[in-house]
């Protein structure tokens, strides 16, 4: 009886293999991708999905299907640690929290590359040119109407003078800060360090979390002061769109804000590598491809984790 069962199973799988071969198509490898969105989730999804679709077409002999989902900082962290995704496109803040969980050999295995992003034409970062950037900056935003109220009418304050104004207002508890998310490097972690280095400790009443670079920008654009008369100050990425030519907003990234922050990193999950060790290496090569116009423009620095470790919340960067 057992022999008969084995024979039936053998014939079944042989039939399945023959059917697959007769179609001339190999079963595609499905890779679940999770990406953190910063502002418009639909635009973020479209941009990344276009790159993944272009890369998939470069692998006809080893077909691959990417299943993309975008989520918040917390969602991507949860999906990564619970094996709900195979590949994460993760920004420095949440990534830094993962570094203590793996040794150096594991970090080398999961690493795919540091992304190079081309800044949108309407962002402050566009002034650096159209080449892919592996780093970016945090910028401080204030409404230009505040300058006419805080400085003499004939004055043209420098960036340093505006930064001094913000620090003075903060010490007097006359500044209201807009941060993006506790795991946002440019929108929270780095600016909090800049303020702390200046001797400024904030209470929860001194700031709001907006969960979006665009929302923080809009609040400053709409009003120089909050309802309590405090100067409104936002910190966002220099890649935030529609700021470069905005006549209502002054963007500052000089002085203490000139420190470069590494871009997003692409990492595979340990579970995926364990399940698909050969496919994982092939996938790395594909994602690192620079063929065609659609690419992640990845760089692969040695000991990549060291710089990201400085982005963890509370880090003394």
The tens place of each residue's pLDDT in the chain, 317 residues long, gives 444 433 333 334 334 333 334 455 678 899 999 998 876 678 778 889 999 999 998 876 788 999 999 998 889 999 999 999 999 999 888 888 888 899 999 999 999 999 998 888 999 999 988 889 999 999 999 999 999 999 998 889 999 999 999 999 999 999 999 999 998 999 999 999 999 999 999 999 999 999 999 999 999 999 999 999 999 999 999 999 899 999 999 999 877 788 888 899 999 999 999 999 999 999 999 999 876 567 899 999 999 988 787 666 554 33
Residue 282 bridge partners (DSSP): none
What is residue 291's predicted lDDT score, i.e. its pLDDT?
Answer: 63
How confident is the model at residue 310, as a pLDDT?
64
Q: Where are the domains of the chain?
A: 2-116+263-311, 136-257
> Could you tell me which of 225, 258, 221, 217 has the C-alpha nearest to residue 123?
217
pLDDT on residue 6: 36
pLDDT at 21: 42
Q: CA of 163: how far to CAs of 187, 241, 272, 300, 303, in Å?
A: 16, 22, 46, 35, 35
Q: What is the pLDDT of residue 43?
A: 77
> What is the pLDDT at residue 312?
61
In the prediction, which pLDDT does 13 show?
37
Q: 86 with 110: CB under 8 angstroms?
A: no
CATH class of the domain defined by 136-257 = alpha beta
Sign of CA dihedral 159, 161, 166, 170: positive
Count of alpha carbons within 13 angstroms of residue 221, beta-carbon side: 13
Tell me which CATH code domain 2-116+263-311 carries: 3.40.190.10
Report the pLDDT value the prediction gives residue 191, as an integer from 0 to 100: 95
Q: What is the model's pTM?
A: 0.82
Q: What is the pLDDT of residue 144?
A: 96
The H or E element spanning position 16 is helix 2-23
User: Residues 150-177, buried b or exposed e (16+ Cβ, 10 A)?
Assistant: beeeeeeeeeeebbebbbebbeeeebbb
In sign, the C-alpha dihedral spanning 178, 180, 186, 189 is positive
- pLDDT computed for residue 54 by the predictor: 92
- Report the relative pairing of strands 87-90 and 29-36 from DSSP bridges: parallel
CA proximity to 312, closest of 140, 169, 131, 189: 189
CA distance 249 to 269: 41
Q: What pLDDT does 3 receive?
A: 42
Tens digit of each residue's pLDDT (9 = 90 or more) over 168-189: 999 999 999 999 999 899 999 9
Torsion, CA 53, CA 58, CA 63, CA 69, rounded to 10: -20
Contacts of 63 (CB under 8 A, 6+ apart): 25, 26, 27, 28, 29, 56
Q: How far is CA 192 from CA 18, 50, 234, 274, 295, in A?
A: 61, 35, 12, 38, 33
């Amino acid at each position: 009886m057992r022999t008969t069962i084995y024979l039936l199973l053998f014939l079944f799988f042989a039939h399945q293999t023959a059917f697959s071969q007769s179609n001339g198509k190999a079963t595609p490898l499905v890779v679940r991708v999770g990406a953190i969105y910063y502002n418009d989730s639909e635009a973020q999804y479209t941009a990344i999905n276009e790159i993944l679709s272009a890369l998939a077409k470069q692998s006809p002999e080893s077909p691959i299907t990417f299943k993309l989902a975008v989520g918040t900082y917390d969602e991507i962290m949860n999906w990564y640690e619970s094996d709900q995704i195979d590949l994460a496109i993760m920004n420095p803040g949440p990534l830094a929290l993962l570094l203590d969980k793996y040794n150096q050999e594991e970090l080398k295995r999961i690493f795919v590359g540091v992304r190079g992003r081309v800044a949108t034409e309407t962002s402050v970062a566009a002034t650096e040119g159209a080449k892919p950037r592996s780093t970016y900056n945090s910028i401080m935003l204030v409404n230009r109407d505040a300058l006419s109220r805080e400085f003499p009418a004939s004055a043209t304050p420098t960036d340093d003078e505006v930064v001094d104004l913000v620090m003075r207002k903060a010490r007097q508890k006359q500044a209201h800060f807009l941060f993006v998310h506790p795991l946002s490097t440019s929108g929270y972690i780095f600016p909090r360090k800049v303020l702390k280095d200046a001797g400024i400790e904030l209470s929860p009443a001194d700031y709001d979390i907006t969960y979006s670079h665009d929302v923080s920008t809009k609040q400053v654009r709409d009003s120089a002061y909050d309802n309590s008369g405090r100067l409104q100050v936002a910190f966002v990425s220099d890649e935030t769109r529609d700021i470069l030519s905005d006549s209502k907003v002054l963007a500052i990234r000089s002085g203490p804000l000139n420190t470069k922050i590494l871009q997003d990193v692409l990492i595979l999950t340990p579970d995926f590598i364990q399940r698909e060790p050969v496919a994982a290496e092939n996938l790395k090569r594909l994602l690192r491809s620079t063929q065609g116009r659609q690419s992640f423009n990845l760089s692969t620095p040695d000991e990549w984790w060291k710089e990201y470790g400085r982005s963890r919340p509370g880090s003394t960067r």
